A and B are shown apart, each in its own frame.
Chain A
Amino acid sequence: KQEVTQIPAALSVPEGENLVLNCSFTDSAIYNLQWFRQDPGKGLTSLLLIQSSQREQTSGRLNASLDKSSGRSTLYIAASQPGDSATYLCAVPSGGSYIPTFGRGTSLIVHP
């Protein structure tokens, strides 16, 4: 059974810092890994999806990397802004059902 862990659980940083959020998973037989952002009480917004054959994906100030062999992914946020404050979740579909297992998320606060 896939288990997904996200570290740290919470993070508070001043504006402008570069950040690294971590996601680890136990079963390396994955189809992809998807990073989401969730604002309080809202749905999930897809940020980046990395296919199992890829090593990284970039979108604007976001860069996600994937190391399947070690069961790890990192989300790098460059030059953080207060608008980046949200919870960031990673999701890993594995097994024949393609149903993703979610981590518990990293709650990020970027203060001015």
Chain B
Amino acid sequence: KAGVTQTPRYLIKTRGQQVTLSCSPISGHRSVSWYQQTPGQGLQFLFEYFSETQRNKGNFPGRFSGRQFSNSRSEMNVSTLELGDSALYLCASRSTSGVTYEQYFGPGTRLTVT
């Protein structure tokens, strides 16, 4: 079974621009979560999507948004980029059947804002 994939792997953007990141979950997984990882704050939860609906949201400004498509693929968008948005963005998927709630992570997208 293929793992979680994320594209692109690396991005360099300028302040004020917007960016869209993509995540394809493990086949059959309907839950997709996004995280931001920085040296200062560690891993922080952004949001979770399930069946095209945002089910949970972390404490991030409205510049961060996401969506999920019918095939469970998800995108996250960051508008009006700030220097502080430079981070590793991780996507995770999990099965919602059974009781393990085990999460599987993708390789991440490294975003650098200059």
Q: Do A and B come from one complex?
A: yes
Closest residue on chain B to residue A49 by CB atoms: B102
Q: Confirm or deny: A44 has a beta carbon within 8 angstroms of a beta carbon on chain B.
A: yes
Check A44/B56 contact, CB under 8 A, given A32-B100, A49-B100, A51-B100: no
Question: In the bound complex, how far is the Cα of B39 from the Cα of A105, in angstroms?
Answer: 11
Q: Is the CB of B33 within 8 A of A99?
A: yes
Task: Find out whether the CB atom of A44 lies under 8 angstroms from the CB atom of B105.
Answer: yes
Specify which of B90, B101, B108, B110 lies most central, judged by the most chain A CB atoms within 10 Å of its CB.
B101
Please report B residues at the A interface, Cβ cutoff 8 Å.
Answer: 4, 6, 33, 42-43, 45, 48, 55-56, 88, 90, 92, 99-108, 110
Given contacts A43-B107, A46-B103, 13 further A-B contacts (CB under 8 A): A32-B101, A32-B102, A34-B102, A43-B4, A43-B105, A43-B106, A43-B108, A44-B105, A49-B102, A51-B100, A97-B56, A98-B101, A102-B43
Residue ranges of A at the interface with B (Cβ–Cβ < 8 Å): 31-32, 34, 36, 41-46, 49, 51, 89, 91, 93, 97-100, 102-105
